Amino acid sequence: MQEISLMTVQYNQFVLTGGPGIFFRLLLKNFERLILFTSRFQAMIPVAFILGFYVALVFARFWNYFTTIPWVMSFALTLVTHLPGSSERNRLIRRTCMRYIMANLIIAAAHLNVVVKKRFPTFELFVASGVLTEDEARIIRSVQSVHMQPFVPVVWATSLITLARKEGLIKNPHAYVLLVDELNTFRQKILYIMMMDDVCIPLVYTQVAETLVNPMGEDDEDIDINEIIDFNWRISWCVVDGVRTSAPAIVRDAHWRQSVVELPHTERSKRLNVGSRKGSIYDLNVPVGPELRDLMAALSTARQMQMSSTNSPAPSKSTYPNESDSPHGVSDDHRHSFPHTTTTNVVREPIKEEDEELEDEQSGKDLKENKVNDETNGKKSFNLFN
């Protein structure tokens, strides 16, 4: 008690006799010792390596996310190449397949992304925007496995491709295999993004190292292999026997008479809209100088003169029979060197099949005559040498 009372008296005396900064001196009394301690052991911890490794890991994951997002351009080009035609049946199958592919992408993104969830919060919005019909939305909603819902439209698209093959709209068997492979690639990328969403990067470096060393452990950040087994178990039965593999009735979509369709937005997603991907310098205004305007005007005038000369009737006979009669005393072959002279292109009629047959017969006769002449000349030369 005496020591405590003595310390209290000294403390009060020190505070009473000190200046206004004495409180800061008391609060920061051991700060210098802490700085010396950390600076002594700082060289033992590779802070730069830790931060660099973590940033590289996060950036690699981000870029892998972006490059894995599937784009429909490849499948669309393959589909329109091997299923061409402007008939209603061909258009119906093409548009329905693309609608199913987009439904797969949007449903999966709504399970992973908050922005898409705000834009398509319910299946009623899918029907209102024309992505799905009421029957299709009802079937997808009735699927018990939530993980399987995004992939139901892919199953329907595969059945449509098979139907087009059976109906003879896709005549090449290799084209059928290629279309199915494109669908499988699209589905695999969607599944990969969903798997990346399940496995997150730990926030602490020690957890990162521990997870990378043994990802099959039993820590919180390790891979939950039991969940993967359960997922595959549910999906396997759902795909082969639990989902309606045949597509619903093929009907005209809500945007049948439109070639360019814009998806709607909700009130919450309108504020998050950043516009379409037009390129980083699409809206850059480049000033056009007077020299470029003069060049464009000259090119336009030359193009109009060329078009007018092409549309004019071709002369049946050359106007200048001799080189001396042509302007400047030059032939028509050398007239290209003069920029102000125009030449008349001869308009030829398409060759008919009868003309091609006559030309083939005439060429055959000419070949026979040339062969006979060559044999005769060969005999003469042989006699001369003998």
H/E segment holding residue 371: helix 353-385
Cβ atoms of 96 and 253 closer than 8 Å: yes
Burial letters 302-327, b for 16+ CB under 10 A, else e: eeeeeeeeeeeeeeeeeeeeeeeebe
Reported as a single tens digit per residue, the pLDDT across 190-239 is: 999 888 887 777 666 666 666 665 565 666 666 666 776 776 667 666 66
| Alpha carbon distances (Å) from 211 to 90, 135, 193, 201, 242 | 51, 45, 20, 9, 36
Reported as a single tens digit per residue, the pLDDT across 48-65 is: 777 787 788 888 888 888
Average pLDDT over residues 242-265: 71
Specify the 3-state DSSP secondary structure of 252: coil
Tell whether pTM > 0.85. Answer: no
Domain boundaries, the chain: 2-45, 64-255+264-270
Provide the pLDDT confidence category of residue 178 given band limits of 50, 70 and 90. Answer: very high
